[in-house]
Amino acid sequence: MEKKRLKKIIDNAAFLFLVIALGFILINYDLVPKSQASPATATKQVQEKSLGEPEITGPPEFQQEVKEAIAVIKEKAPIHHYFLCKFVTKIETSDNPPNDKFFSWTNSQSPTIYFNPKLYSGHLQHKNDPTRRIGKYAIYSALAHETAHRIQFKHLQLADQREIEAQALAAERDILKQLEVPQDIINRISGNHILNEEWWEN
């Protein structure tokens, strides 16, 4: 019982750490100019940076869905959109996932988010189901999750894999909240219980 309680505290702390880290990056990495420019100037600079959205390659239905998801993110979760554009240059399908459990992934060598085409096909079958992890919100969650990893690779350099994934799940929950997804759905598809699957283990 005590072990479960400690695990819950650690998972909640991971979310807080991610929020603080993102806030630090937000302040220190070009979103707010170092010279303390006026709010109007800062907003203009953010808008200019937003134009460089990632290149998307893959089947037409994949490209279309990702483009639509990015457009929604830009409107409803602009900070997530900013970080996506800042840390990711390409989004594509790849037949070489780290293991068969990965719906999406990234790595420290390339600012690319990859999607598993086999699991993406499964997603298409459940595309309208909001209660499945690879259902209605899968692309939004994946983009937030992998962008969090890109930030970790560049700035945080964490060693504990569970903490790394807990932070990425926290980013998923945050973007889904911005999209006004009901809390019970968020908990179901992006709650910390997902960590028990340990998908990162080969």
**Is 25 among the domain residues?**
yes
**Which structure tokens are listed for 29?**
């990495």
Q: Residue 8: which domain range? A: 2-197
pLDDT digits (tens, 9 = 90+) for 104-162: 999 999 999 999 999 999 999 999 999 999 999 999 999 999 999 999 998 877 778 88
Give the number of other Cβ atoms within 10 Å of residue 25's Cβ. Answer: 18
Number of H helices, E strands in the chain: 8, 4
pLDDT at 72: 97
Q: What percent of the chain has pLDDT over 70?
A: 74
pLDDT at 38: 33
3-state SS track over 45-66: HHHHHHCCCCEEECCHHHHHHH
pTM for the whole structure: 0.76
**Is 38 among the domain residues?**
yes
Number of domains comprising the chain: 1
pLDDT at 122: 93
**Is 71 among the domain residues?**
yes
93 strand-pairing partners: 115
90 strand-pairing partners: 55, 112
**Is 182 among the domain residues?**
yes
**Is 202 among the domain residues?**
no
